[in-house]
């Protein structure tokens, strides 16, 4: 297979390689070459026969891509351990626990079922850095990738390792303190994704009798009307049943959002607000908390009153982790529900985060139904504007547009514009205490960008 070097340049987005499955950058041929390139990347860094954990979500295309990815890895000399359907953090757990040299996840996270993706991890279960992904991209167009052909006993072996899922659930169960009562009832939305069996099994083991929805995947219904992208579905069930809490995951369960008994969404900012105070009270917060540029300004206001520092970083949970390591912070996350708690995990884990949030509320004496009111976020609007897939927005244009519009908010808000790392979209965030002004600025930006890229 010949790969055009121009095509693989910037192949990796903010969360691995992602595209419509069997098209573009997510064909079996591309998966096979990605697998070979990843193993060559490891081999040239002193790991000639790496052991790699591979997991996937529930998409129909997952088995097809796993077969190709595993073939590429084993043909380059790696031993591959197939975990089957398992949350992304479960692959991270397996790689670290079993002492493997890497991991790979086949998932398109919150995207519709026709999409799929591949993301790689290192031996500690962390997502790869930009530099590491750039190195793998270089191998994609390098003849050495084709010439690296082990034979005989040097060819890798593919092994089935479904037992790692049970070990992951066992570990999650140890996070809940035995002397704390686990909430008896609630609603859990598994998004017809990778958490569909793991999360209900865990909650049942802890003594909960939760209503479970989104737990009947058929390969084509992942994220369809359910999960973190469709919170009104969960919120409606919680209100209808008169329960006090709901939890929703995304397709690969590295994200989580909650809702209170009044059917209101509790996003990542509110979770960070609660978790930061809890970890700080236990001396496990480090230097503070990391939030992305998308987080609401109210988060800094509230944590500032507790003398807790907030450090900002660009969007993407791997950038959250990088900033945490740089600043010495042990908590970080995104408004979208990616949360990393370094005392416990080193990647986003929706199931872990949900458990810890419930424990934090109990420890702090928080009434979940009052959190949304007391957090009182700045009004904020996020819009997605479609752009042609082959267009790369000019950084100078985005900077100048931001500088032009921010003064319109009279110093009581902010503007943030960025291209999506996984979809042909421009994301526009406007935040201000004055809602009318916020909406006017947002509409101006939306119209300007549409005209620019139409």
pLDDT confidence tier of residue 372, bands split at 50, 70 and 90: very high
pTM of the model: 0.88
Structural tokens at position 72: 């590429």
pLDDT confidence tier of residue 433, bands split at 50, 70 and 90: confident
CATH of domain 267-375: 3.40.120.10
Q: Count CA within 13 A, CB hemisphere, residue 103.
A: 30
CATH of domain 175-256: 3.40.120.10
Q: Which residues pair with 159 in a beta bridge?
A: 81
pLDDT above 90 coverage of the chain, percent: 78
At 333, give phi and psi (nearest 5°): 180, 180
Residue-wise DSSP of 349-397? -HHHHHHHHHHHHHHHT--HHHHHHHH-PPPEEEEEEE--TT----HHH
Do 380-453 and 267-375 have the same topology in CATH? no
pLDDT value at residue 419:
87
Long-range contacts: 403-408, Cβ < 8 Å, 24+?
Answer: 405/441, 405/444, 405/445, 408/437, 408/440, 408/441, 408/444
- Higher pLDDT pick, 273 / 409: 273
Catalytic site positions: 109
Average pLDDT score over residue span 97-103: 96
pLDDT digits (tens, 9 = 90+) for 293-305: 889 989 999 999 9
**Does residue 352 surpass a pLDDT of 70?**
yes
Do residues 89 and 352 make contact, with C-beta atoms less than 8 angstroms apart?
yes
pLDDT value at residue 119:
96
d(CA 311, CA 135): 29
pLDDT confidence tier of residue 11, bands split at 50, 70 and 90: confident
Average pLDDT score over residue span 158-183: 94
**Does residue 196 surpass a pLDDT of 60?**
yes
* Average pLDDT across the chain, whole number: 93
pLDDT value at residue 453:
86
The neighbour count for residue 286, using CB atoms within 10 Å, is: 19
Nearest to 155 by CA among 48, 234, 259: 48
Structural tokens at position 308: 């807790």
**How open is the CA angle 412-417-422, to the nearest 5 degrees?**
140
**Does residue 399 surpass a pLDDT of 60?**
yes
pLDDT value at residue 1:
41
pLDDT confidence tier of residue 5, bands split at 50, 70 and 90: very low
pLDDT confidence tier of residue 9, bands split at 50, 70 and 90: very low
Considering the four listed CATH numbers 3.40.50.620, 3.40.390.10, 3.30.310.50, 3.20.20.70, the one that applies to the domain covering 380-453 is 3.30.310.50
pLDDT confidence tier of residue 4, bands split at 50, 70 and 90: very low
pLDDT digits (tens, 9 = 90+) for 238-261: 999 999 999 999 999 999 999 999
CATH classification of 5-162 is 3.30.1370.100, yes or no?
no
Locate the domains of the chain by residue range.
Answer: 5-162, 175-256, 267-375, 380-453
**Does residue 14 surpass a pLDDT of 80?**
no
């Amino acid at each position: 297979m010949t790969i055009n070097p121009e095509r693989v340049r910037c192949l990796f987005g903010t969360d691995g390689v992602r595209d419509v499955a069997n098209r573009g950058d997510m064909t079996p041929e591309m998966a096979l070459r990605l697998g070979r390139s990843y193993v060559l990347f490891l081999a040239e860094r002193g790991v000639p026969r790496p052991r790699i954990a591979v997991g996937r979500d529930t998409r129909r295309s997952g088995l097809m891509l796993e077969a190709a990815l595993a073939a590429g890895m084993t043909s380059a000399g790696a031993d591959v351990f197939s975990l089957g359907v398992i949350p992304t953090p479960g692959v991270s757990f397996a790689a670290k626990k079993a002492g493997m040299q890497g991991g790979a996840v086949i998932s398109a996270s919150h995207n519709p079922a026709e999409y799929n993706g591949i993301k790689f991890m290192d031996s500690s279960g962390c997502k790869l850095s930009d530099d590491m992904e750039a190195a793998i991209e270089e191998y994609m167009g390098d003849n050495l990738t084709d010439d690296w052909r082990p034979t005989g006993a040097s060819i890798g072996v593919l092994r089935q390792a479904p037992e790692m899922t049970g070990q992951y659930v066992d570990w999650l169960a140890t996070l809940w303190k035995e002397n704390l009562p686990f909430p008896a009832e609630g609603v859990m939305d598994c998004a017809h994704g990778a958490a569909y069996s793991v999360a209900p099994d865990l909650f049942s083991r802890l003594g909960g009798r939760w209503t479970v929805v989104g737990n009947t995947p058929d390969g084509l219904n992942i994220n369809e009307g359910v999960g973190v992208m469709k919170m009104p579905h969960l919120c409606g069930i919680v209100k209808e049943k008169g329960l006090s809490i709901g939890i929703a995951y995304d397709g690969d369960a590295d994200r989580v959002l909650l809702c209170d008994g009044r059917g209101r969404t509790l996003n990542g900012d509110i979770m960070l607000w609660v978790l930061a105070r809890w970890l700080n009270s236990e001396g496990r917060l480090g230097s503070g908390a990391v939030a992305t540029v998308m987080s609401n300004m109210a988060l800094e206001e509230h944590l500032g009153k507790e003398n807790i520092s907030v450090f900002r970083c660009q969007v993407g949970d791997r950038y959250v982790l990088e900033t945490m390591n740089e600043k010495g912070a042990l908590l970080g996350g995104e408004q979208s529900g990616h949360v990393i708690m370094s005392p416990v995990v080193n990647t986003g884990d929706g199931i872990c985060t949900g458990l810890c949030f419930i424990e934090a509320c109990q420890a702090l004496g928080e009434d979940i139904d009052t959190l949304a009111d007391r957090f009182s976020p700045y009004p904020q609007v996020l819009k997605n504007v479609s752009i042609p897939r082959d267009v790369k927005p000019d950084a100078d244009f985005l900077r100048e547009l931001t500088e032009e519009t921010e003064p319109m908010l009279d110093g009581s808000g902010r503007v943030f514009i960025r291209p999506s790392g996984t979809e042909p979209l421009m994301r526009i965030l406007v935040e201000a205490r004055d809602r009318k002004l916020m909406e006017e600025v947002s509409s101006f930006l939306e119209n300007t960008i549409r005209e620019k890229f139409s």
